[in-house]
Amino acid sequence: MGARIEVLGSGREVGRAAIAVWDGSGKAVLLDYGVNFDEEDRPLFPGHIRPRDLEAVVITHSHLDHVGAAPMLYVSVRPRLVATPLTLEVSRLLLMDMIKLNGPFLPFDEQVVDMMLDAAEAVGYDEEVEAGGFTLKLVYNGHIPGSAAVLVEVDGSRILYTSDMNTVETKLMGPASFEGLKVDVAIVESTYSAYTHPDRRETEERFYKAVREVVEAGGTVLVPAFSVSRSQEIISLLAEREFEYPVWLDGMSRQVADLYASHPEYLREPGLLRRALRDYRIVRGWSDRRRALKKPGVIVSSAGTLKGGPSLYYLKRLGGDPRNAVFLVSFQPPGTPGRRLVEEGLYGEADEPLKARLEWFDFSSHTDRNGILQALRQLRGLERVILVHGEYDGQQVLAREIQEKLGVEVHIPENGEAIPLN
């Protein structure tokens, strides 16, 4: 069939990332292999690919929608696996947790995950890796600690897969920059293809001011946050401002924070996270959870969409008091308890009305429409853009803007679609 790009997942959908790049001889490299979950928490896998056809699998970062299906490829065959050291370590943590929660629905177990990750090759940014007829390079992309874009060279084509990226500075990360990178084809995430984030510094200031208002009035702030990156972002923000009230960290966030702190080379300012881990309090059991509720302060706890985890415990005990607050810091997908809380003001199995103060703050680690355009302008020689990891309506708007402003061809593939390279 010739050299081509095949979209196995993230075509006209957010998440479930899986992009195969094929050479002319019938061999491929696979860029991510993630899962999404249905409303009953059952995993939705990407399209099938034969592991024996793979020269390498590249995992761009540790979020399950990019790594969650990868162990399926290692049940009987051992394709080469490439990622940054931090991505490999955090991926192990999340995959093992997924098996605990979703084990009956998965075609692999802990032993397969161990075999996959123990045989993986840890690669740093800008190191070239030869894999059959492919040359691979991981490129900094600003999303979360350890994350990477991938530059693939094959059969005379240079392809950049941005994966999830961010073009603004956060407490954990500097912005992505692809300045001067020579690329023929860019496969670009478009999660926020039709959306512009508010100014990041203004969001941080608004959040911090709101936290102080609640705590100084005698209340407790619950911050439901994802264990990977978002929790560490929030405690780093509070540490930067030397927030003097009790801050508690609950859930898997501490284990992830420890891994981040052990790899300071992947953090913009590692001293902030170290200070937060030194000064703030770690929940180690139910007695600590009860202590965290006794005095005004901040509780940063998984899960970010209130779909499980310790956040539910805290919400039940804080939600009925107007002195307290629930500050959401992540997008709340339709069908999640967090989205229901925002839209209906109800929580828990008894449909209790929330009396605590409720606000949402945009701390996204994905770039927006302007950031995508900014990133594409930095590339040299760009001829084609392939939009993935986004919702189709917004992608169509973004595609028109890219064509008008950059004068390049734009394609929005469906899952299962193959795009010839030559």
Domain ranges of the chain: 4-195+365-420, 200-360
pLDDT given for residue 129 in this prediction: 98
Q: How far apart are CA 89 and CA 260, in angstroms?
A: 10
User: Which residues of the chain, if any, have pLDDT below 50?
Assistant: none
Q: How far apart are CA 340 and CA 329, in angstroms?
A: 15
Q: How far apart are CA 342 and CA 266, in angstroms?
A: 34
pLDDT given for residue 63 in this prediction: 98
Please name the residues in contact with 338: beta carbons below 8 A apart, sequence gap of 6 or more. 224, 304, 305, 306, 307, 328, 330, 332
Please name the residues in contact with 221: beta carbons below 8 A apart, sequence gap of 6 or more. 211, 214, 215, 297, 298, 299, 324, 325, 326, 327
pLDDT given for residue 422 in this prediction: 81
CATH number of the structural domain 4-195+365-420: 3.60.15.10
Spatial CA neighbour of 203 closest among 374, 372, 368, 14:
368
Q: Which fold is adopted by the domain 200-360? A: Rossmann fold (3.40.50)
pLDDT given for residue 301 in this prediction: 96
Q: How far apart are CA 210 and CA 328, in angstroms?
A: 12
Q: How far apart are CA 259 and CA 257, in angstroms?
A: 5
pLDDT given for residue 119 in this prediction: 85
DSSP element (H, E) containing 7: strand 4-9
10 Å Cβ neighbour count for 197?
19
Spatial CA neighbour of 251 closest among 313, 295, 297:
313
pLDDT given for residue 40 in this prediction: 83
User: What are the pLDDT digits (tens) for 40-78?
Assistant: 889 999 999 999 999 999 999 999 999 999 999 999 999
List the end-to-end C-alpha distance of the chain, in Å, as a whole number: 11
Spatial CA neighbour of 326 closest among 282, 361, 358, 297:
358
